[in-house]
Structure 1
């Protein structure tokens, strides 16, 4: 019995070439879908890590405040959390991951105010603003400087900052 040489026929050659090209295209589509899914998971992980850090800081500050409250009956209001908002993130075309990293860096820079008296913090608001404005924050080889547009001091300190890119 003889097996016919299909590799010499043009129709079989086209079929095999189509299978090879289809396999390559399918692999590229698979890689792009995996990349998008992985990017979403990384973003979710960064958000959850930031939330965990905020909750841990808040928990530590509140536990310390509770201990102080047991010692003193008339404890003044204290700062419980910090919220940072970058107002011009869309004009700088910042990625959501970079935004979260920058917000975390700013929160870490002024984290010392959590658990402190609101009145004390409101008296030193210029120091708080200059702390943020005079510091360079570096993420992915880019340096960012911030100008504080709005500062609200209450139990939740809210910062609205304007970002300026210095370059690599």
Structure 2
């Protein structure tokens, strides 16, 4: 078999030359369109990557703030301080403020177990706390006094206002 001599026929030569030129032009157009689309996609990917990094940084910041707020809320729900105040000591002519201070410190020492406890637990046991304070007798200047609870506030600081009564 022999390849036909097409080089003598100009119609076939034009056809083959047109096919080669058309193939080259279509390849160039394809490369241009593909390159443009790839460039557009790479820009989109890079912008999305930067957006993702920003959002991840925001998430980290939110998580840190969330942990800090939770820690602050946990501290608010724990008894942190006790304040005891005896109000009517002047009624019994007690001028020695050192004795009153020592009595207040003794009461604080009795209530010291409430520190660092859950506020809900302390509030549920308030009747026990009230009975403990009302049954306590204090000796000041060789006189015995009972404590009467005027008011008590439960929060992160427990504030107890007491009055003295002769026993």
TM-score (norm 2): 0.52
Does the CA contact (< 8 Å) of 1:105 and 1:137 recur in 2? no
Aligned to 1:117: 118
Query: Take 2:92 and 2:139, find their aligned partners in 1: how far apart are those partners?
Result: 15
SS for the counterpart of 2:99 is helix
Aligned to 1:85: 85
SS for the counterpart of 1:110 is helix
Query: Take 1:99 and 1:165, find their aligned partners in 2: how far apart are those partners?
Result: 15
5+ residue gaps, structure 2: 1-70
5+ residue gaps, structure 1: 1-72
Query: Take 1:140 and 1:104, find their aligned partners in 2: how far apart are those partners?
Result: 16
Q: Is 1:138 equivalent to 2:139 in the alignment? A: yes
Query: Take 1:162 and 1:135, find their aligned partners in 2: how far apart are those partners?
Result: 12
Query: Take 1:90 and 1:137, find their aligned partners in 2: how far apart are those partners?
Result: 16
CA RMSD of aligned residues (A): 2.0
> Bigger CA drift: 140-149 or 110-119?
140-149
SS for the counterpart of 1:157 is strand
SS for the counterpart of 1:98 is helix
| 1:1-150 pair list within 5 angstroms | 75=74, 77-94=77-94, 95-150=96-151
User: How far did residue 90 of structure 1 move?
Assistant: 1.4
Superposed CA offset, 1:107-130 (max 9, x none):
111111011011111111111111
Q: Give the structure with the higher percent helix.
A: 2
TM-score (norm 1): 0.52
Query: Take 1:88 and 1:117, find their aligned partners in 2: how far apart are those partners?
Result: 31
Query: Take 1:84 and 1:75, find their aligned partners in 2: how far apart are those partners?
Result: 24
Aligned residue pairs total 95
Aligned to 1:42: none
